[in-house]
Amino acid sequence: MSTKSYLTLTKKYKTLLSALHSIYRLIHSTYELTDLVSKLTKLLAQVFRADNCTFTVLDKPKTKRNNRRIVLRCTLSGSKRSISNKRVAVQNKIIRHIIATGTAIKKDRLLATPLISEDVMGIIVITRSRRCREKEGVFDTYDLEALMSIAGQVILAIKNIELYEEQEKMVMGTIKSLVRVLDSRMPAGYTHTPYFLRLVTALAQEMRLRKNEVLSLKYASMLHDAGKVNIPIEILTKATQLTGEEYNIIKHHPVKGAELFKHMNMLKPVIPIILHHHEKYDGTGYPSRLKKGQIPLGARIMSVADAFDAMVYGRPYKERVDAQQAIDEIKKHSGGQFDPQIVKCLIHIYHNKKLKKYLNLGL
């Protein structure tokens, strides 16, 4: 082997190792298939010095005779990237051939490989334009082997996401069952409206929380009052002022709620939010009198959403006010009861027409 060929091969090995490392990090940083496919499409084009890359994800076949359909496709052409999650028939001849044979393809300007787990679950196609080929040369056997090695990691990534989504469905189903049991104890009007969860989610997204953090906050929003399950109904529904003893019983419900779920590993990120959703930004809340950044961000978000929900959508013991009055009241307590940054996010959401309609505000 000539020195030049050796150096070229060494450079390719380094590039492959770097790509595998980048893919490994990507696999462990995203829980959403669309996000994974979008990022991988760009990464693969960079690794293989190509200007076009298409990542196609297929549906699961019911039988081998059934025609496969595309459920997600990401295409990178030059600097332009497009994503489609429409369910469509496979028209491309190369993709149809790979589905039928399960084999990879290498041509001068094209690399294509299936992603196989029991059956073909997706296809990666990488191409170089004529201009790109003049600069980078043609694809060789090593390039195809490298792509097939990367494909193995991509398959693992997709299967991990599928498992995560299945687990998410199971957790959500369990939580919804728990919420129905808890709500069955409460008279109509004392439970949160559907808009509460919408507002919590909107605030979390406005604060740019990661998907798994938003999910934990959703779970906490549905379960945060679970600790009230053993509180006498006459205290929970009392319309007049609570006695000191009654208020102490109520104040203990975040601790009781956290204790209910402490042995459920899948809800570990949710427990601090449940435990501290009645803390106040200035440190005068309960149960731990935490202040500012000591309070979990999810709990600070829920505190703002809870107050807004109670004022705008009403409670039997509290007169309903319009959204602007609720905003003004929360602004008064910014920096005291509420995190100022989250109050700003609430105001921004309130002025967003689409969200305003989604949250049924001002009606």
Question: What span, in angstroms and rounded, lies between the C-alpha atoms of 11 and 2?
Answer: 14
Unique residue bearing structure tokens 């409206």: 193
Computed over every residue of the chain, the mean pLDDT equals 84
> Where is average pLDDT lowest: 61-65, 94-98, 344-348?
61-65
Strand, coil or helix: 112: strand
Annotated domain spans of the chain? 3-161, 172-358
At 246-285, the pLDDT tens digits run 888 889 999 998 998 888 777 889 999 999 999 999 999 9
Checking phi first, is residue 142 left (phi over 0); if not, alpha (psi -120 to 50) or beta? Answer: alpha
**What is the amino acid identity at position 59?**
D
What does the pLDDT look like over 73-124, one tens digit per residue? 999 998 888 999 888 988 889 999 999 899 999 999 999 999 998 889 999 9
Q: Give the H/E segment covering residue 79.
A: none
Q: Regarding the domain with residue range 3-161, which homologous superfamily does it belong to in the CATH classification? A: GAF domain (3.30.450.40)
For domain 172-358, give the CATH number.
1.10.3210.10
Q: What is the pTM of this model?
A: 0.64
First to last CA, the chain: 77
Fold match between 3-161 and 172-358? no
Q: CA 359 to CA 200: how far, in whole Å?
A: 10
